[in-house]
Structure 1
């Protein structure tokens, strides 16, 4: 009985291995390839000026302005430059493992749909000045850890590391800057803390020393102010609760949105105003 079970399991295993081998032989070339591109895109990704990512979840457009990325579609929003650079780095370093030519596909009776490239799962467009390059990502390649891809107008299909696909944003929120404030604590010259019905507490810095100027004048606790500055500088957004729209900017919200979240300018339980060396910031 045990011998029969072992034989049956070996038979099933051989069938599975045979199916994988048949699939790989059908989808991939049978001979070794020597001419594989060194990079997925023919542009210097470190100098990219524009990026567009299109998936089934929508289109995200970003542009680099004065060394920093910003989101321009679906709305004008602050971007996490490190997150976008991470994706570009993944594309730049992705290994190209194999190539399937148009002739090889025709010999096997396969078309782009068989490789998940019509429609593609994702399309990445990268601009560098007047130059632009496109990368289409399709289905998973046999063996795992890789996906099929097409570059620009080429008819060849490449097998590339799946890390490129995994690094794509699921939604625009993945590309958004999660820093709560956009200025370093060293730029803060004064702080106003307001609570309805409790007046205003104001702190000011002069020659590096902090003092309280309202509701009355007195020396401020250096440790307490230091903790406040650290909390402000390190504060991060955990979740975006208001969906992005076609508004002009992060600050351009429809009337009443803030009040719906308890953020009415008058009735908010806490309002903090930061006076900077060059401008006024609010949180």
Structure 2
């Protein structure tokens, strides 16, 4: 007898739809409760994020465990945009798998740590929890406006250090090749950070790894998917699923950046953004799981 396919599958960015970009925590209690009801109800879930596994371990996992995550739940964290993979169970984290081929050279990480210490520690901190990427993040005591006013200067310095170490990179419209003509890295500024990372990383890589994990686990794959994020790069999850024939809808919780033309539906709330919007859509998906709602197009 073949198990029925789940009602849907979820690929979720963390900063924005799950964790508040202001407090950097899961601040809305219903989010963890709804995630656990979905997971315990057979919905496969991945936190497909640029965050480190330590952030997920400290800020997300305790709330899932407190809400009663079950033994049959299929929940993963794919962190650092595909470089780090770990399963989440009622016992917490499983074994952490790091793709070292996607890591930034240690010498570059050391140089950026020193750069932050010397010139930017009044506005950002160096994220020591990253295993493959190099990330600096806005300090909680610094305003978004002040961070934004200093970010371009930091990004320029980060680019100069890449060149000093002979590393090719892309940054916006700027492309610099290494001695072999390659462009292995990118500088990716966000609303609260700058990431320096392999160009092979991305939310589409996370999507592909998640479906491979589900198949390896013997799961029946859903035909219907929801992806959710707060930036244009998060659309890559839905792009990847759509290109492979899945029924996918993307939820954009920060549409002020502009909603692109896509071959699949994109939803966003008229007034709610970030985790307020994320909580609303999670509750709608719970109602879909319960059979109380046929679709979330009314949200």
Q: Under a length normalisation based on structure 1, what TM-score does the superposition of the two structures give?
A: 0.27
Greater relative contact order (Cα < 8 A, sep 6+): 2
Higher strand share: 1
Q: Under a length normalisation based on structure 2, what TM-score does the superposition of the two structures give?
A: 0.26
